[in-house]
């Protein structure tokens, strides 16, 4: 069962989310029903992994529900300061950040877990850095971008010494930093950082990976803001088609990329192509996240969507 749980994690790290969820669901059921040979940490690891993979598939409400149950179990059985309880809290905060009307709850939990990690571990501990990334991302979501940028800079300065400069997580952190530079008005720096991150992901993971395509989506937004609409549109078209194959048409990242591409098509004079893609995105949002979700509202208002990175525990 532990081997199955580890394999499910590996599927997830390789963007094979359906296989990861199928295997993790079966593993969790077996572990939670076992009468011997399975520890409380085993159950929590499997439960937390299930919540994470559900979130990565874009099912945010279900991820919150599963994550809340897992977090309650961790606090009851292992204590609030057990390291897998803290990891489960980080994942729950991320799920809350992806939902409608729960950003303040996400911030409160992210701050609580971050403060505990700072107290229990040194700054350079991987779990502390993961908690800091989660906190930085929710600060940006709440428009506290200066605080988010300060924290992201500190994380980006530390990460290479922990995982190595060529680790995929380091490129993900670079992508987060790039996003914050753009939303604080420095699209040129954002573009350069995202180009570096995408080149690193391409070399380590290939383009057809969730992480690579997240950065590619944001890079297209950088290029668009800098006035290079043609290159932004070309990158957006390629990224959207890859996302449709990797994550399906209704995944939140696919929808966001499509909505951004609709704006670039319009800027290039393709009104019919823009309208078709815009209407398609609106329908998918109504059927999945709902029209009240922040992403759906941004699309309705003609704003671009941004996407960030959170490192799964290793």
Last residue of a domain, one of 89, 120, 151: 120
Residue 8 lies in a domain: yes
Average pLDDT over the chain, rounded to whole? 95
pLDDT in tens, 48-67: 999 999 999 999 999 999 99
Number of folded domains in the chain? 2
Residue 100 lies in a domain: yes
Q: Considering the entire predicted model, what is its pTM?
A: 0.95
Last residue of a domain, one of 67, 98, 120: 120
Domain of 229, CATH number, reads: 1.25.40.10
- Based on the fold, state whether residues 191 and 291 are members of the same structural domain: yes
- Based on the fold, state whether residues 197 and 98 are members of the same structural domain: no
- Based on the fold, state whether residues 197 and 274 are members of the same structural domain: yes
- Based on the fold, state whether residues 205 and 306 are members of the same structural domain: yes
d(CA 166, CA 160): 8
- Based on the fold, state whether residues 190 and 312 are members of the same structural domain: yes
Q: Which domain holds residue 96?
A: 1-120
Residue 43 lies in a domain: yes
Residue 103: its pLDDT value, please?
94
pLDDT in tens, 239-274: 999 999 999 999 999 999 999 999 999 999 999 999
- pLDDT at residue 104 greater than cutoff 90: yes
Q: Which two tokens stand for residue 146?
A: 């200066």
- pLDDT at residue 68 greater than cutoff 80: yes
Residue 37: its pLDDT value, please?
86
């Amino acid at each position: 069962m532990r081997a199955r749980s580890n394999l499910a994690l590996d599927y997830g790290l390789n963007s094979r989310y359906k296989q990861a969820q199928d295997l993790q669901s079966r593993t969790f059921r077996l572990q939670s029903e076992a009468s011997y040979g399975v520890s409380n940490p085993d159950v929590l690891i499997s439960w937390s992994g299930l919540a994470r993979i559900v979130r990565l598939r874009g099912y945010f409400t279900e991820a919150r529900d599963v994550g809340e149950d897992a977090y309650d179990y961790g606090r009851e059985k292992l204590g609030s300061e057990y390291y897998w309880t803290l990891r489960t809290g980080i994942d729950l905060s991320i799920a809350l950040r992806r939902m409608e009307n729960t950003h303040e709850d996400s911030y409160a939990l992210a701050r609580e877990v971050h403060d505990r990690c700072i107290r229990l571990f040194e700054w350079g501990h991987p779990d502390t850095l993961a908690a800091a990334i989660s906190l930085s991302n929710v600060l940006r979501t709440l428009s506290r971008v200066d605080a988010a940028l300060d924290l992201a800079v500190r994380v980006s300065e530390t990460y290479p010494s922990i995982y190595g400069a060529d680790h995929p997580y380091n490129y993900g952190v670079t992508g987060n930093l790039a996003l914050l530079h753009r939303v604080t008005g420095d699209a040129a720096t954002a573009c350069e950082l995202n180009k570096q991150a995408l080149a690193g992901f391409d070399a380590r993971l290939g383009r057809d990976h969730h992480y690579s395509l997240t950065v590619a989506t944001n890079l297209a937004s950088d290029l668009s803001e800098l006035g290079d609409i043609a290159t932004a549109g070309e990158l957006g078209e390629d990224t959207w088609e890859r996302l449709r194959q990797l994550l399906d048409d209704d995944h939140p990242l696919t929808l966001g990329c499509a909505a951004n591409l609709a704006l670039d098509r319009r800027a290039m004079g393709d009104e019919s192509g823009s309208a078709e893609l815009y209407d398609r995105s609106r329908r998918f949002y109504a059927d999945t996240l709902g029209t009240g979700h922040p992403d759906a509202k941004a699309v309705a208002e003609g704003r671009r969507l941004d996407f960030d990175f959170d490192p799964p525990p290793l």
